[in-house]
Amino acid sequence: MHFRSCSEISQWNNSFSKFMSIKTPTLSSKELRGAALLKIHHTTIKIMGAAAIHDVSGLRSLSEVVNSPDTSINYTADFEIIVNLSKSLVAAAEQDVKNGKPALTFSADLGLVGPLYYVCSKCPVPQLRMKAMELLSRSPRREGMWDAEATRTMVGEFWEIEERHRILQEEVAENELGMPIPLTAYIDLEFSDGNKWKWIWKDPIHGDRSSQGGRSRGSTPSPGDEWMIRLQNQSLFGEEFYLITEGSNGL
């Protein structure tokens, strides 16, 4: 089933590329932005799906494989596509506001916040993570369950936990299992009503929850050259949008 899903993701991308190469001259600015958002979500799903089949040994759990830095390093170019296309869309939205259009602060649909969160939490390249975080700060919006400001706070806490985990792994070279303990064995992230969450620290050996560490938040304060040329001529997204046609050969 997993391989079938990955194949379908690849087929979708091939069809998308063919569609864009034909229809680009007839698409409006709004439609082109929608196409960019589709590409962002495709790339995010592509990374998620492909990362799950990277355990050569077959000895690790799916959660450990998907969250491992040595897995995500294979998809740096894809993370860059997400960041660059998101940057273009954020810049376009900011230009709309300058032109007198009302800012989009709420949408029931998924947009940029989820993919940018994924970059912040999974991408192994610090520079891309920081760019994604900066884009979240420029996108103060609510998209379905995703709230940009709350997401930024949660990412900041996660980065602190990651650093504590890194130091712990350096200080304790060996443990009862005789191997490094992945971060997912140390923490859980629990959500509750009212857009609240809690980091739960666990016993990494026995899996028991040993503390209620972390903070509980209250209410939040809150693909061809012709396409590229047209986008550049309209000054909608800049050169970064060319990445939408790069690396689009599926998984």
> Pairing state of beta strands 187-192 and 106-107?
unpaired
pLDDT of residue 125: 94
Contacts of 1 (CB under 8 A, 6+ apart): none
Q: Is the pLDDT of residue 9 over 60?
A: yes
pLDDT tens digits for range 170-220:
766 555 555 667 777 777 778 777 767 787 776 655 544 443 333 444 332
Strands 146-147 and 209-211: unpaired
Confidence (pLDDT) at 215: 42
Query: Considering the entire predicted model, what is its pTM?
Result: 0.73
pLDDT band at 108 (very low <50, low <70, confident <90, very high): confident
Task: Work out the mean pLDDT of the chain and round it to a whole number.
Answer: 75
Read off the pLDDT band of 103 (50, 70, 90): confident
Q: What is the distance between the alpha carbons of residues 102 and 93, in angstroms, rounded to a whole number? A: 10
Tokens of 230: 């047209």
Q: What is the pLDDT of residue 171?
A: 64
CA-closest candidate to residue 133, choices 149, 111, 145, 144: 149
pLDDT at site 134:
97
CA neighbours closer than 13 Å in the CB half-sphere of residue 5: 12
Q: Quote the radius of gyration of the chain (alpha carbons, Å).
A: 20
pLDDT for 175: 52
Rounded to whole angstroms, the Cα distance separating 238 from 165 reads 39
Residue 202 CA to residue 216 CA, distance in Å, equals 16
Q: What is the pLDDT of residues 113-148, one digit of tens each?
A: 999 999 999 999 999 999 999 999 999 999 988 999
Residue that the structure tokens 């012709």 belong to: 226
d(CA 74, CA 202): 29
DSSP string, 24-67: GGG--HHHHHHHHHHHHHHHHHHHHHHHTT--SSS-S-HHHHHT
- The Cα–Cα gap between 138 and 62 comes to 33
Provide the β-strand partners of residue 198: 190
